[in-house]
Structure 1
Amino acid sequence: MKIETEIPLIDGILAEPKLAGYRNHVYRMVNFCFAQGDFDAEQKEKIILAGCFHDLGIWWADTWDYLPPSMSLANQYLTANGHDDWSSEISMMIDLHHRIRKCAEGSLVEIFRRGDLVDFSLGLFKCGISPEFVREVKKEFPNAGFHRQLLAHACRWTVRHPLNPVPVLKW
């Protein structure tokens, strides 16, 4: 499997320097998604776009309850770029990417959920992807403080919302 190292759509949407760690996370998870099957150009673009926006609400809305603002940002982008017809599927990919149970096997929603799980778990869960490929992707796109940023946001949220510490987790 070839590692995708230059994806202009990711670099364009996530160009801000403060998003370097997140951009690397998106590159890692997109590569982990692509490693799960053969996708046509439209499917790849949907994975890339969902990847760009899936956690973006953390930074744009400064919240740990980031799924609604992330979906809103994605839908604004899709509307502005003539892809309204993708809004439902991409919103579902974003909304269910931290679902505990599997989604429909083979769907982009499930592919995306597993791709994020591989990276979020730091490679502990590989979801059928070779350990060597996971290592190479992590080497190509270093963490750059991404997981540390997530932990800081989660801690701030939990102190203020102790009865709802992980609002993005879905059953």
Structure 2
Amino acid sequence: MITELPELDGLFDQYAERFGRDQTPYRNHVYRVINLVAAQRPLSGDDLRKVELAGFFHDAGIWLAGTFDYLAPSARLACHYLTEHGLEAWRDEIHAMVLDHHKITATDRGRDSLVEAFRRADWIDVSLGLVRFGVPRERLREINRRFPNAGFHALLAALTARQLFTRPWRPLPMLRL
């Protein structure tokens, strides 16, 4: 179980004020997603760090760009961070992880890619395990015990309701085919 990632925790500390009371629910979601990627394939070294960074930024546009249409802003934030830290070589892969994490169908990166594992992991968590992509139920329970929901899905429901009432023509702008 991956329980501590210093760079990820540092990013959450850096933006704590922007996340406000949503920090714990989002942080736990990010750790659940990272652990769900690890439940699908071994994660270490560069791959772990890529998933760590994609994890932090994948929904961050909600808070850091102030929008529920957050895929492109979140991807831009991730790419900016990568450039600032000399990680341009990871740009394409992390950009794809962020942009494709709500893709309904499989990515074109291949079943064993980090991008596809990240997409599946986010769907597992957002669906509350209804969709598991082969991750054992007990592993999912273990991850959820260590990183409880803390209101994350209620937060998503509230954001979706607000979007529905303010922009009914685009109730879920983050979904992609």
Could you tell me which residue of structure 1 aligns to residue 144 of structure 2? 138
Alpha-carbon deviations, 1:1-39, whole Å to 9, x = none?
xx1111112211112253111000000010000111123
* Residue 67 (structure 1) aligned with residue 65 (structure 2): no
How far residue 140 of structure 1 moved from its aligned partner, in angstroms, is 0.5
Question: Does structure 2 retain, via aligned residues, the 8 Å contact 1:93–1:109?
Answer: yes
Distance 2:138 2:44 in 1: 25
Distance 1:62 1:158 in 2: 16
How far residue 113 of structure 1 moved from its aligned partner, in angstroms, is 0.3
* Residue 27 (structure 1) aligned with residue 25 (structure 2): no
Alpha-carbon deviations, 1:25-79, whole Å to 9, x = none?
0000100001111234111111111001000001112211001111111111111
Could you tell me which residue of structure 2 aligns to residue 46 of structure 1? 50
Letter in 1 for 2:127: S
Q: Report matched runs for 1:53-92 at 5 Å.
A: 53-92=57-96
Distance 1:8 1:124 in 2: 31
Distance 1:10 1:23 in 2: 9
- Find the residue that maps to 2:86 and give its secondary structure: coil
Aligned pair count reads 169
- TM-score after normalising by structure 2: 0.91
Letter in 1 for 2:148: P
Letter in 2 for 1:56: A
How far residue 122 of structure 1 moved from its aligned partner, in angstroms, is 1.0
Report % sequence identity: 45
How far residue 117 of structure 1 moved from its aligned partner, in angstroms, is 0.8
Distance 1:40 1:135 in 2: 22
Q: Which runs of 5+ in 2 are unaligned?
A: none
Distance 1:140 1:122 in 2: 15
Question: Does structure 2 retain, via aligned residues, the 8 Å contact 1:63–1:153?
Answer: no
How far residue 148 of structure 1 moved from its aligned partner, in angstroms, is 1.2
Distance 1:83 1:102 in 2: 26
Could you tell me which residue of structure 2 aligns to residue 167 of structure 1? 173
- Find the residue that maps to 1:14 and give its secondary structure: helix
Question: Does structure 2 retain, via aligned residues, the 8 Å contact 1:21–1:146?
Answer: yes
How far residue 170 of structure 1 moved from its aligned partner, in angstroms, is 0.6
| 2:116 corresponds to which of 110, 130, 147 | 110
Distance 1:44 1:128 in 2: 20
